[in-house]
């Protein structure tokens, strides 16, 4: 059975404060606070743990707050491999009242020599057929070709490369012909510096990513579900009357990716993988953090309520 690696070059601690009403220019007293290890790669590991699928989070972090982060990974049974940064791990804010106000802080730099250690590690551990997911924002001063370099290392070991990024770092990574990428509408617009207004345009720009090298494009469309595009077909998969309320969309895209890969490994069926990716993404969107196995199993029962159609 292959193994899944999730790389977080720029993880974060999320500091969540809940208020009755957050008022600017005042001293506010939250009624609840929480703090935990976060970032796209961590979300992927948490979901894979729910699915009991063997995985490892590769994290770059340092400093006093790194101990807290690592202890949170351990508490959540996330297996990890640690590399160092040139400064403290960042602490991002989620200030929640009737709105959600976020503060996203730049991460510390990674030295070229530490990044080389990552590439050497990948070349050492990746077995043919393993999956490596590189996702999330890049650390400050990080060259845009780092995802490309990771992709080359993964390919050399005959692994599958998955990248969740946008803009220049995605375009450069496409040259390695990654197995899967997962943009949303915003990320397509930012990558191609266009405004997309119709579904036709959306699919056209997704297909451009295929032309540029992606083997499969998993388009995430929030409550509209997902679309899988490759050289042969466009398959849409929507949610129909699941009777659940959106709780917190953070991590939904990461859960889609994780669910897609697991189901594809188990079935080699792209349509089943797409359906299960929508189940996992939705389950997380219906949860305050990452979806539980119970909710995933419950929604998975409902897959007869899903629609898939082949467009091309």
Interacting residues toward its own copies by CB under 8 A: 15, 17, 19, 22-30, 33, 64-65, 67-68, 71, 91, 93, 95, 99-106
Residue position matching structure tokens 């969740």: 164
CB of 250 or CB of 290, closer to its own copies: 250
In whole angstroms, how close is the CB of 186 to its own copies at the nearest point?
11
Spatial CA neighbour of 278 closest among 225, 208, 235: 225
Kindly tell me which of 59 and 214 has the beta carbon lying closer to its own copies: 59
E strand or H helix at 46: helix 40-50
Query: Six-digit token pair at 122?
Result: 């990948």
Cβ distance to its own copies smaller for residue 35 or 234: 35
Of 1, 2, 43, nearest to 248 by C-alpha is: 43
**For residues 165 and 280, which CB has a smaller minimum distance to its own copies in the complex?**
165
Shortest reach from residue 36's CB to its own copies, in Å? 12
Q: Report the residue number, 23 or 232, with the smaller CB distance to its own copies.
A: 23
CA atoms within 13 A on the CB side of 20: 4
* E strand or H helix at 185: helix 185-192
Instruction: Output the smallest distance, CB 132 to its own copies, in A.
Output: 27
The DSSP bridge pattern shows strands 131-135 and 100-103 to be unpaired
Residue 113: φ, ψ to 5°? -70, -35
Minimum Å gap between C-beta 250 and its own copies is 11
**Tokens 């804010």, located at residue:** 93
SS (HEC) of 132-157:
EEEECCCCCCCCCCHHHHHHHHHHHC
Residue 65 or 242 having the CB closest to its own copies? 65
Return the residue matching tokens 């290890």.
37
Quote the least distance from Cβ 183 to its own copies, whole Å. Answer: 18
* Min separation Cβ 295 and its own copies, Å: 27
């Amino acid at each position: 059975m292959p193994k899944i690696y999730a790389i977080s070059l720029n993880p974060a601690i999320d500091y969540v404060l809940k208020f009755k009403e957050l008022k600017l220019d005042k001293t506010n007293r939250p009624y609840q606070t929480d703090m935990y290890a976060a970032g796209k790669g961590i979300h992927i590991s948490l979901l894979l743990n729910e699915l009991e699928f063997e995985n490892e989070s590769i994290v770059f972090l340092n400093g006093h707050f790194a101990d807290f982060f690592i202890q949170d990974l351990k508490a959540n049974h996330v297996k990890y491999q640690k590399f160092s940064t040139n400064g403290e791990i960042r602490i991002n804010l989620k200030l929640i009242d009737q709105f959600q106000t976020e503060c996203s802080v730049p991460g510390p730099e990674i030295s070229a020599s530490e990044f080389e250690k990552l590439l050497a590690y990948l070349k050492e551990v990746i077995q043919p057929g393993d999956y490596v997911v590189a996702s999330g924002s890049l650390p400050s001063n990080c060259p845009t070709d780092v995802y490309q370099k990771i992709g080359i290392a993964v390919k050399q070991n005959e692994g599958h490369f998955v990248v969740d990024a946008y803009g220049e770092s995605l375009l450069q990574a496409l040259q390695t012909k990654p197995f899967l990428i997962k943009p949303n509408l915003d990320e397509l617009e930012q990558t191609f510096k266009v405004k997309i207004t119709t579904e036709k345009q959306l699919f056209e720009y997704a297909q451009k990513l295929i032309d540029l090298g992606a083997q499969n494009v998993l388009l995430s469309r929030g409550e509209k579900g997902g679309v899988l595009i490759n050289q042969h077909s466009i398959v849409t998969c929507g949610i129909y009357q699941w009777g659940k309320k959106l709780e917190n969309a953070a991590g939904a895209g990461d859960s889609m990716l994780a669910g897609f890969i697991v189901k594809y490994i188990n079935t080699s069926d792209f349509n089943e993988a797409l359906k299960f990716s929508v189940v996992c993404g939705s389950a997380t969107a219906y949860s305050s953090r990452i979806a539980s196995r119970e909710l995933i199993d419950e929604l998975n029962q409902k897959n007869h309520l899903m629609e898939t159609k082949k467009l091309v």
